[in-house]
């Protein structure tokens, strides 16, 4: 590889790192907002992408407080449902189409169950985890860990049966919130964004949704700068 190639690669890496920093900053800013503003900002950012979709927040359910308490939802998620009853598509496949509170159910209540989905994926594609029978859990703010698939903890797939998917599972891809402590770095309220052999963990519901929404908002901001 020549010097010119190294220079080009360096520019790409610097540009990527800058974009990731901007996205993370935006995600933290969104997550720090009061819940009513947080909901509105998330919908706005999710709609800012060039994707062929549009979504909105549903009006809150009159039974939100009762249902959230009965399901023993973590505090942030309970508060979210007091302000809206999840997100829905107006048209297209809206990302983060969060279930209404009345439709939330455990991973064990799906067919196939969440652990069965992972078992099927691993049987076909293998599991790259250093602990083959466990799900690798990656920290959300480490580029090195994400690039090298370096886990900071692990989870037994069976524990996903007692977690609640926030959106409709799609094969081996799903997002769940833990209702109980599940080991080191995985207290109740942790959100896991699972895909195949690994999952990225977020300390809570707002951290996950704020980060996810910021992916689309930061893309829109960068394209806006280029157009100007």
The predicted-structure confidence for 91-123, as pLDDT tens digits, reads as follows 998 989 999 999 999 999 999 999 999 999 999
Task: Tell which wins on pLDDT, 40 or 5.
Answer: 40
Tokens 């439709």 correspond to what residue?
Answer: 103
The DSSP element (H or E) to which 54 belongs, if any, is strand 54-57
> Which ranges of the chain would DSSP assign to H, the alpha helix?
3-31, 35-46, 64-70, 75-83, 114-125, 143-148, 205-227
Confidence of residue 142 (pLDDT cuts 50, 70, 90): low
Cα distances (Å, whole numbers) of residue 220 to 80, 143, 223: 25, 22, 5
Over the chain, what is the mean pLDDT?
Answer: 84
Please give the average per-residue pLDDT across 12-29, as a whole number: 62
For 197-209, what is the mean pLDDT? 94
Residue 215 pLDDT level (bands cut at 50, 70, 90): confident
Tokens linked to 163? 């977690």
More confident residue, 28 or 143: 28
* pLDDT tens digit sequence for 150-188: 788 999 999 999 999 999 999 999 999 999 999 889 999
Total-model pTM: 0.85
Joined together, the tokens standing for residue 192 give: 């896991």
Cβ atoms of residues 23 and 226 within 8 Å: no
pLDDT of residue 13: 34
Helices (H) and strands (E) in the chain, counts: 7, 8
Of the two residues 2 and 174, the one the predictor is more confident about is 174
Confidence category of residue 217, pLDDT binned at 50, 70, 90: confident
């Amino acid at each position: 590889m020549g010097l010119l190639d190294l220079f080009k690669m360096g520019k790409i890496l610097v540009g990527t790192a800058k974009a990731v920093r901007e996205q993370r900053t935006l995600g933290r800013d969104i997550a720090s907002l009061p819940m009513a503003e947080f909901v509105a900002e998330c919908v706005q950012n999710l709609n800012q992408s060039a994707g062929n979709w549009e979504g909105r927040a549903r009006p809150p359910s009159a039974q939100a407080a009762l249902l959230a308490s009965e399901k023993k939802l973590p505090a942030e998620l309970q508060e979210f449902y007091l302000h809206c009853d999840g997100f829905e598509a107006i048209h297209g496949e809206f990302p983060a189409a969060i279930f209404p509170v009345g439709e939330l159910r455990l991973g064990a209540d799906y067919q196939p169950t969440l652990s069965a989905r992972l078992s099927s994926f691993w049987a076909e594609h293998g599991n790259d985890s250093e602990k083959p029978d466990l799900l690798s859990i990656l920290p959300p703010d480490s580029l090195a860990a994400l690039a090298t698939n370096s886990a900071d903890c692990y989870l037994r797939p069976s524990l996903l049966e007692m977690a609640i998917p926030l959106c409709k599972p799609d094969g081996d891809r799903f997002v769940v919130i833990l209702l109980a402590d599940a080991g080191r770095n995985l207290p109740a309220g942790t959100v896991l964004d699972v895909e195949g052999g690994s999952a990225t963990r977020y300390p809570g519901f707002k951290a996950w949704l704020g980060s996810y929404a910021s992916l689309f908002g930061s893309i829109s901001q960068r394209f806006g700068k280029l157009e100007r």
